[in-house]
Structure 1
């Protein structure tokens, strides 16, 4: 094969990959109209990429993935497989069973697997997708391993579609790379919601969920303010910025009180 032919075929392949990335989630896998507390959910057999800018926000991406995976449990599919490399588990810790129970996710449904490296993690993910008892696979992947390329994500996508279980790839950083995932999410923490009994006390934890890639029903992109409660997701559509870049929220006053907190005066 001449260099010209090789370059032509490579250009054609890049074009095809770019076209695949622009396609929305498959109609037969993304269930149109499926909602949970105002938030659209995908059906089974879908690969999700769930990004947070920093690793310290890992709780948000894990909660988001498990909140969606919970809706896939049922019938013969009674397990969610959580994959995390041994070194990462020792550094970041493992999911807390009592905490999951508090939010309505039965810890008995979560199978923890701690592979030694990324190659073993991807192998375990593919094997789990072939099991009829698995509803979803959650793979926590730190860094940018070269082995997790477009080909690897395509293999996961094909196994997910054929096996009927979904995949949630938890990633960290602001970079994005070629992937065969049908949906890509970006999660970021927000201020907690207010409480009805004390406006100064922290309420339920919240985060923003933005759909960066793919489509769910009528949702092509979009951003939601999201909470995960014991009854599932509770969500509201985030305000869209105006033409001047503002969100239309009430601006801060020109002056602020001289006290730092309730009955605490500011030290001069």
Structure 2
């Protein structure tokens, strides 16, 4: 039988847990997102997000979704994005490609690569990095489930992210959803690319389908088809057919383009 002193301690502990469960970072997110315009919202920092895709071959799409958000979080004070991946997983999934990042407007010199030998070191590096206020985001590419990456570990990272203002992204694979403290959980699948102006058979801008499985950022919508543009993520549903095929309307006459690159008079 519990003594009165033990009951008081348990009651105090329950109060502490209740304060943590209120998740002030997520509450702030809902308030800020509610004021956004139509389309996919620009999410603030300080969140722990999970990005699930069914197969490792979709790793590039998951990374692109995370980096598109991370790019919007970078400032003069937050100048770095850290990418963590176990050394043994690099051969299977590959690593971010510098010239590819440049082509989508992301400076590869702002990315720091960390390849720990085991999951314990990876989680330690993630926790130390997300606490640094010069870091805009930490992206951890987790190919396989691991016992060390449990609810407690994710809770620690989520609290660190909320305190520092940097965002933590876990790239995960498969159909299983282990318990975690992530405020937002996404399911991502590649989609057919946009049409290329003047050549319907050539691939255009990359697109993917994103569904919000956990969390709440906008009550009336939990699924988007997104396109990566030089200005960030674009919601295809909010574009007109002309914009999705040919980009924004032109404000003045310009020389005609062939193959979307070469001038007609070149």
- Alignment TM-score, normalising by the size of structure 1: 0.76
Match of 2:101 in 1: 100
Match of 1:234 in 2: 234
Is there any run of 5+ residues in structure 1 with no aligned partner, and where?
3-8, 239-268
Is there any run of 5+ residues in structure 2 with no aligned partner, and where?
3-9, 239-266
Count of residue pairs brought into register by the alignment: 224
Deviation at 1:91, TM superposition (A): 2.5
Match of 2:225 in 1: 225
Task: Please state if 1:84 is matched with 2:85.
Answer: yes
Deviation at 1:24, TM superposition (A): 9.8
Match of 2:249 in 1: none
Deviations 1:211-259, CA, capped at 9 Å, x for gaps: 111122x346511111112221111349xxxxxxxxxxxxxxxxxxxxx
Q: Does structure 2 retain, via aligned residues, the 8 Å contact 1:24–1:213?
A: no
- Alignment TM-score, normalising by the size of structure 2: 0.77
Q: Secondary structure at the match of 1:132?
A: coil
Q: Are the structure 2 counterparts of residues 237 and 180 from structure 1 closer, same or farther at C-alpha, using a change threshold of 3 Å?
A: farther
Structure 1 segments of 4+ aligned residues over 4 angstroms from their partners: 33-37
Q: Once structures 1 and 2 are overlaid, which stretch shifts more, 206-215 or 25-34?
A: 25-34
Q: Secondary structure at the match of 1:76?
A: coil
Deviations 1:70-92, CA, capped at 9 Å, x for gaps: 00000311001110111111332
Q: Are the structure 2 counterparts of residues 136 and 220 from structure 1 closer, same or farther at C-alpha, using a change threshold of 3 Å?
A: farther
Q: Does structure 1 retain, via aligned residues, the 8 Å contact 2:25–2:46?
A: no
Distance 1:220 1:182 in 2: 18
Match of 1:258 in 2: none
Which structure has more relative contact order (CA 8 Å, sep 6+)? It is: 1
Provide the aligned C-alpha RMSD in A. 2.7
Distance 1:219 1:75 in 2: 33
Distance 1:87 1:36 in 2: 42
Q: Does structure 2 retain, via aligned residues, the 8 Å contact 1:213–1:221?
A: no
Distance 2:107 2:37 in 1: 18
Q: Secondary structure at the match of 2:168?
A: strand
